[in-house]
Each structure stands twice: as C-alpha cells, then as structure tokens.
Structure 1
Amino acid sequence: MTANEDSAAIRATPADQAAALSQGAAAAVDILEAARTELAATTLPLAVPEAQEARHWIRESLAQLDDYVIPRYRSLDAPLLAVVGGSTGAGKSTLVNALVGYPVTRAGAIRPTTRQPILLHHPQDAGWFEGHRILPSLERIRGNVSASPVPANQAGAAPDAQAITSLVLVGHHHVPQGIALLDAPDVDSISDDNRRLAGQLLAAADLWVFVTTANRYADAVPWRLLLDAASRDITVVVVLDRVPPAAENEVRTDLQSMLDRQGLGAAKLFVVPESPLDDLGMLPEESVAPLRHWLGALAANVGGRADVARRTLNGAVNAVSIRMEGIAAAAAAQDLAARELESSCLHEYEQALIRILDATKDGALLRGEVLARWQDFVGTGEFFRALEQNIGRMRDRVGAFFRGEPAPAVKVETAIETGLQAVILDEAATAAENVDRRWRSDTAGRHLLGADDLSGTGNGFDAKAAAAIRSWQEGLMEMIRTQGQGKRTQARWLSFGVNGLGAALMVVVFSMTAGLSGLEIGIAGGTAVVGQKLLEAVFGEDAVRRLAQQARDDLHTQCQRLLDDEKERFLSRLAAAHPRSGTELFRHAKALRSLAGAA
C-alpha cells in the first residue's frame, strides 16, 4: 500500500465504510434482480429430458431469491433468522419454548403439531419482520403471549387443516435482540404442504437449528437437508434431543463422525438430555442453557452476526448460480429441440414445394385430361401441318377457331386447374403426414401435438388451393392483356382471344418433357410447339420467354403461400410454446458466481 493509500484508509470513517457497503449491496441487488427477471421469464415448455428437474430448479431459485437472498442484500444489518427445523416428533416446539423460557409455541403428541409457523423476535426487532422483507408470500399475523402461562399443548396457534399462507409473529423479551427464532413445520411431515413450507422456511434462514433425536439422527430425510446445507455453506447448529444420559457419549461421537464425513464438521453440536417435562410441558432450564447462551452471544456480537449472514448469503447466491447453470443447459436443450422440430417442418414443406414445381415443368401435367382438352382445342394433325407450312395461315385459322368456339380454351383452363389442384393437395398432405410422423417420434414434438391429428391438410385447404390456382390463371390473363396493349400486337391479340392465349401460355409453362416417354414425348412436344409458336406469332420470341418466366414465378409464389399457411399449423404450436435459449441464463449464472466469489 502506498503512503497515499494508507492515508486514505486511515481517513475512512465508519460512515464512509457504511456508504461503500451500501453501494456494493445496491449493485448486488441490481445483478440479482436481473437474474430473477430472466429466471421468471424461463418456462421450459418443451418436453425434453432435462425440463422437469430444471422447472423445479426455477421454482427453488425464485423462492430463494425472493424469500432470502434479495431481502438480505437489501438489509444486511437486519437480525439473523434462525429457523428451527427437523423431523416429526423431534421436539422442535418444546426446544423453542425452553429457549424462550415460556410456552409460546404449541407442542404435543398429535402429528403434525407445528402447522402454523411462528416467528419469535425481540419486541424492538418487530419492524424487521412485520413487513414483507422476507418470505413475502406469507401474510403476517400478530400473535400474543398470554399473561399467564398455558400448557405447551395449548400454546401458540391451533393446528389448521387448511394450507398455511401466513406467518405468526410473536414478540418476547426473552428472545435476544439481533436474532429471531422461527418454529417450522416438520421436514418429513405427512402433509405435502407442510413439507414444502418447511423447505421454504429453511431456504430463508441465515442459520439452521436442526433438531433430531437419539433414535432418529441417522434418518434419510434430515440428512438430505443437511447435505443441501453443506453444499450451500449455510451455518448449521445441530441439536441432539432426548438423549439418555447413559448413551450420550456414544451417540454424540457417532453423530459427530457422520457430520465430519459429510462436510459438516464445523457445525455446532448441542445435546439435550432426556428429561421429564413440568406441568406446562417445559424442559428444565439447564437442559438448553448451552444453546441459549450460544445464541445470546451470537446475537450480541455484531461482527459474528455479519459473518454468519455473509457466509449463508454467499452460499445461497452460489447455489442459485449452480442451479441457474443447470436451467441454462435445459434451456439450451429446449432451443435445440425447437430448432430441430422447426427444421424438420420447413424441410418437408420445402420438399413439397419442389415436387409441385417439378410437376409443373416436367410435362407431367400435360397427361390425361389436360392433354385431351388441349388437343380438342388446337384440332387434328392437319393443324400441325398447317403450322409447319405457314404461321400466318395458322394464325388466321386458329383465330377463327377461337372466335367461333371459345369453350375449348376454358376447358383447358379447367383441366389444368383440376390437375394442378390434385398435385398441390397430394404434396401438401404428404408433407403434413411426414411432419406429423417426425414430430411424434420426438418427445417434445409429441407433447406439442398432443391428441390432435395434423397428418392431413387443414380444413378448407382444397378450396384455398382452387382459389390460388384461379388467381394465378387470372394473373396470366392480365399479363396477356397488358402485353397485348401495343398497336402492333393488338390486332393479333384480339384475333386469338385472351382465353386462347392464356391456355397456350399455361401449356408452354408446363411443357418441358422430362419424365415423359414414348408417344407422350411426341404429343407433349408437339403440344409445346403449338403453344409457343402461337404466342410468338402474337408477341414475339423474347416476350413469350418473359411471359413464361413470369407465369412460373407467380405460380411459385401462389404455391409458397399455400404451403406457408399449412406449415403454420405446426409452427404456430412451436411459437406459442416460446422456448428461450440458455445464453442469457448462462450470462446471469456467471454474474451470480462472480458476485458470490467477490463477497
């Protein structure tokens, strides 16, 4: 340290140090609030293997942040909260009454006795607990200590069969100022609500006073909680209750050995010997004197209280950061699953579009009814010979044909509409069936689909397809009208008619002969020549090429829109689930780990 730094440190007053501490706490709260916001927005909606456990971690982390971590950072000088927890019948309430020296919480033989949590504090510490600084989800009820003692089996709040949503506050001068005792429900209660509440209260504690007995100190449930405490570095006091004097050394040694093996060797261990209760159900005062003196000394030691709070707080923040990393990994798995489901859907409908467009340009649509109607339209083989001999004579002849019999052109359009609609319906149904099958082979996709069958086209799709084809055909007619507005081409255009030219353009669009064989190639090839030569006679070769390309592009657009609407039946379910990536969660987890390390 330089001379200037040394001088600055000497000049720092307690007020300066307090201000620096307050600024650090405010910055920490900002980090914690940001992490909490991200956690609260994380739902993990997809059924991936990691999701169920991660959802539980989210609930735990939010409760830990709301009930303890953020409130403690906001009020670092608040009294310590010592939660008295343990197994059913371990004597928690009896111990609390003994520590206070007065029957303030109900004790008895009927299980579970402690249903309503009771927080005991010094009267001058009331302001720290009457608001919702900690455990904000529990309403506050002000309890009173009767002027004359009542037996412990009648003291405190009466057991309530309903779910507990409140916290009873009791002020008593025998509780040392600077520390509060919270009598919690049994951690292994037969009531699910009681067990959950016990876990919530323990997670909000600065200090655990864990009560077990000589007969039950090796039970699994309490040890799971103790190991959780060890992982979070929380300060733990273990009370071994109801110990027969003859077995004290043996039991104490065995329990201490277990604590050492599980990383809890630093936990304070107090033994309460088995003793008869007095008429009020109270233990002898001397049986809990060591624990009472230890709690009183801790309450009176400002630095000691700060150390306990800091250690527990850092452990809690670190535990949240670890859980948050697991949640982030689950979110990343969700994001990957969502992208895979989306990709499979997009791929199937892209392939469907490719197959539809291939069918429109490989000559397949010129088979059957379309080919027959086109042949009716252009006439017999003599028409082809006339075409080869004299394009002018062909134009006159076809013009007269068009003017005299417009119906065949409409029949060509109708046949094309029917054939194209069949192709679109078939390929859309194939895509839907493939997506449905692929999604159902995946747990997340199967959960999204549920009992709904999306393996066919949506309601009214056939009508939508027909309307789209008609819209495309009308667009072709409009292109022909627009192209034929020039004076040079107007006479020719009028002579052939819009429907006739439109039919010819559709045939040209569908005229590539890939996929045809034998006689079909000759027929389709001749069909294409007729249509193309007819159009060229009216508009010219370059214009026909542009018209055909525009017609193909417009058909692509119409088919794309139809399939986009269809695949939304799948993708909308994915969008509604709204899975998030784990990137932000990983970032916040890193920030929390740094916060715990810095503290």
Structure 2
Amino acid sequence: MTAITDDENETGGRWDDGLIARRVGQRNEDGTRNEDGTGEVGAEGEGDHIGDEQLPVGGTYGGPLRDRLSALRELLGLSQTRLDGKTLAEAGRVLDEAAARQRLSSRHTVVAIAGATGSGKSTLFNALAGVRIAETGLRRPTTSAPIACTWSEGAAGLLDRLAIPGRLRRKPLAGGDGDDQLQGLVLVDLPDHDSAVVRHREQVDRILALVDAVIWVVDPEKYADAALHERYLRPLAGHAEITFVVLNQIDRLPGEAADQVLDDLRRLLDEDGMAVGEHGEPGATVLAVSALTGEGVGELREMVGAFVQERSAAARRLSADVDAAAAKLRPVYVADGRTGLDERAREDFSARLAEAIGATAAGEAAEREWRRNAGRACGTPWLRLWRWYERKRMPGAAAVEPEVPVEEEPTARQRVEQAVRTVADEAARGLPAPWGQAVREAAVRGAQGLPEALDELAAREAAESKGRPLRPAWWPAAVLAQASMTLLQIFGGLWLVGQIVGVLEPGLIPPVLVMLAGIVGGPLVEWACAAATKGPARRYGQDARRRLQEAAAACGRAKVLDPVSAELMRYREVREQYATVSGSARPASSGPGALRGRVRSRIG
C-alpha cells in the first residue's frame, strides 16, 4: 500500500479522499500563503482561521496545577544560587513547555501514535482517521517523518510547535464517521521508536515530550520488547493517565491467546510501575484491537473521542511532567529527619564561645578580687601593717593568689573554630547536600573575625569591671567595728601603761580585759566579715561570668547563628514550595481508565 499523493487528491476542486489540498499558488481565506508555498489548507498553515471560541489553555491551569506551577517557578528562583543548572534543567523545561502550551489552543488535544517497526501503528492511524493517510507496507521503516491529522481548525500553532511541516498535515474526509466525537483531536503518526535511523528516534523522543497523550501500539511479537519498556514505558510510568497501550494484530492470535497476551501486557506494565486503569480507576488504558479487520477500533475511537472532549489532557500531561520533575528534585529538597538548630545546640555553641573567651576564669578572678578587697577593708590594722612590711622587705614575695593559666591567644582561636564547626555540622545534619553546604559556608563566613570580636569583648568587660565599686553597704560598719576593736586595744594598753608609771590608780584586771577584748574582737570581726563575703563574692563572680557569656553569645549569634538561621529559613521556604509542587492530588476519575469505564458503559 502506498501513500496517496497530493496530485491524486485533486478532483476538480472537490475533496473526496479525506485530504484537503489546494492548487499551487491558491491563497487562503486571509490572502496569505502557507509556509510551504502550496497553499494547502490541510497543511494547517498560517492561513488557518481561528474562531472566536478558541481560548488559551491557560484557562485550564486552575486549582492545584496553577499553584504547583507557581510554586515550581518560585522554587527555581530560590534555588538558582544553591543548585547547578543541570539539576534544575528539567524543571525549567517543564515551566517553558507549560508556558508554550498555554499560549496555544485549548480546544485541541494532541495525541501521538507510537510503536515499534511492524506494530501496525500507521494502519491504526489510518483506521482512526477513516482514510488512508499514513503510508503502510512491508518496507521498513515505513513512517520516516511524523504525519498529523486534525479534525478541526486552529491547530496550526500546535503543529508548528511539533515542527511538522505543512506538507505532512492532513484532515480526514469531511463528514466522515465519528467526525463529531473527534472534534479537537490532533493525531500524530510517529516514526518507529526502534528505527535504525537515528534521526527517526530523535524525532520520536522530541515529539513525545510535547504531545498531550500517547497511544502506544504493540504487537503480539514485540509487546515485551525491553527497548519499549526500559526506554519509554518505565520512565513515563507517572504519565499513565494520558497513556493508551493498544495490543494490535489480535486477528493473528487464535482462541483465548489474545486475552492471555493482554494479561501478560498488563503484568509488564505493572512491573514498569505504570498503573493500569481498571473499573473506572485512574491509570493507563489497555485494550486489544485489530487495525486490519477493525475489531476494537470503534471502542478505541469512542474512548479517544471522550478523552479529547474533556479537554483536560494538556493539563494532566503537564501535571504528570511536574510530578516527574518533582521526583527528580526530591533528593536535593527533602531532608532526612528533623532539621535545624534546637535550643540545646544553640546553648552548647554559646557555652563553647564562653569557654573560649575565658568567662569561667574571669568569674573566678572576679570572685577572688572581691574577697581580697573584703580582706583589705575588714582585716585588722596590725595584719595589714604586717603584709605591708612583708611587701617592703621582700618585694614579689607577697602572698598573692595564683593566676589562672590562660591560652596563648585570649579567645583560644582553635576553640572558637571548633565551636563554629560543631554548630555548623549540627545545623546541616540531615539536610540535602546543597543546602547543608550552604549552611556550612554561612557559618564559615560569619566566623571570620569572630575571635577578634571576642577578644575585644573580653578586654572591654575587664576594663568595665575595674571601674565598678566592689564595696557593699555593710563594709563601713565592718570597718568601724574593726576600728573600735583597735581603739579598745590602744585604750587598754594606755590604761595599763598609766598604772605602771603611776599616773593612774593600780588595777590590772580592767585594762587587761579592755585590751583583750580589742585583741580578740579584731580577728572575730575579720572572720565574720570573711564569712559574710562568701555569698556576695560568689554572686559577683557569677555576674561577671554571666556578662561575658551573654556578650559572647550575642556576638556568636550575630556572626554565626543568624546567618545559619537565615539559610535554614531559606531551606524551609524552598521545602514548602517543593511540598506544593509535589503534593497536589488529582481526582481518581480523570484518567483514560475512567474514560474507558464510562465509554464501555455507554457502548454496553
């Protein structure tokens, strides 16, 4: 069987073979020529008249799909600085195709017929069209270029998008059977997907990425072909709702063999992960036909017609594309377990910085300083005099508190770096690799200059501590009591001397008792003051340590924790957008499987 040429179609200007053609040089209704110069209306060229009823397909992008596309666009915008272009390429392609399809006719549904060499797809194409359009025969490959057949006007833009030239655009016989039910259908016969010609396979792959639905035609010999399942059906398993799998040539199978092959085909599709629509459930439509004898073709035609009239195939195809893009992006957006910094991690980071800045040692030093000042203020004058003498007699040998050993650098740079690495690892734990790396980079950038800033804080706090008064309100009373004890000692001593020299009347006991009261009372006052200073000294040291800890925590928060939190917030934002992209649910009765159930109920 050979293709009917354009010259054979012309019978006095009357179209009686299902092909619409015009003489070379004849113009379209708007006075323009078609792109191929033939002026063929059947070529769906620039001269096609698009009626007022044509609406942009954007009107069908409503509800969840519109939200998903918006979220996907926002997701790509937020991820461009974190993910490489190769990772985002497929999602970007989906958005581009969504925009391109939205600008074209919403009244048309583009359905491709694909199959292997010898599967009979061109014969099925002609059977659905009701007229011989595609070339059929024994010579392989028979279909060398995609051929399109349209049942209504206004599909030129869609065919231009598929890059199908005007000379390969056809229409069925005007007034043919089933014209009404197939209004809006654009049927495309593809080259063999297993063709030995590389260009043919490239055309198949390119068009399959653009059409709204696919009819896969298989035959009893190649229905289990690994090339078909591994290269096409398995990767497109998520597109089951826009997929028809037709077992052709059942006239070659005797008895119940057709049912057995059909069941095995369903089993293979299930292994591919492609849901099969049964009893109205969503999924791929699987049926058996014989394009040669016409068995089952009418049922397929009914199902395709109902599918086209719903005018939702483009949106369902796009939704499936979004699902596929979301599945590929899942590893770079979905974290393992709970992410972020909890309060314990933040406190640990602040504690490590406080340790590096020497907050504990500073607090202990402040506590010792308080006690020394208390001892100097509340000690006996004779003890202070003795200590002064010791310092004069042996400089450097005074009893001083041992200094706490300090790090070579005031803030122990290595401790600071270790604290930053620890908190960065904690924040990045469980995050996808790109976002975990972004968190670590934010922490490293923030840590630049952190040791110096902590040094400055420590120096400023030490200077402020020296200027603070270390004398509580009760210290003057203690000093007065100590002075009183000293005066008692002096008074008792002078009283005793006066008795010895005869100035005063003799009486040893009273001056001795007065003098002894002063001698014993001085140490008692000093001991009581030392006991009383333990609590305030400890609180003073704790206050000094707390001030350093808060200063170190504020510095670490501003330089490290806030940038890390900003990255975590950015990740949570993209994670929410990704959840919108991947989480929309579709009605269970919107696929070809449901259509098949409704069509069969009408036929029955």
TM-score of the two chains, using structure 1 as the length reference: 0.50
**Structure whose CA Rg is larger:** 2
1 or 2, which has the higher helix percentage? Answer: 1
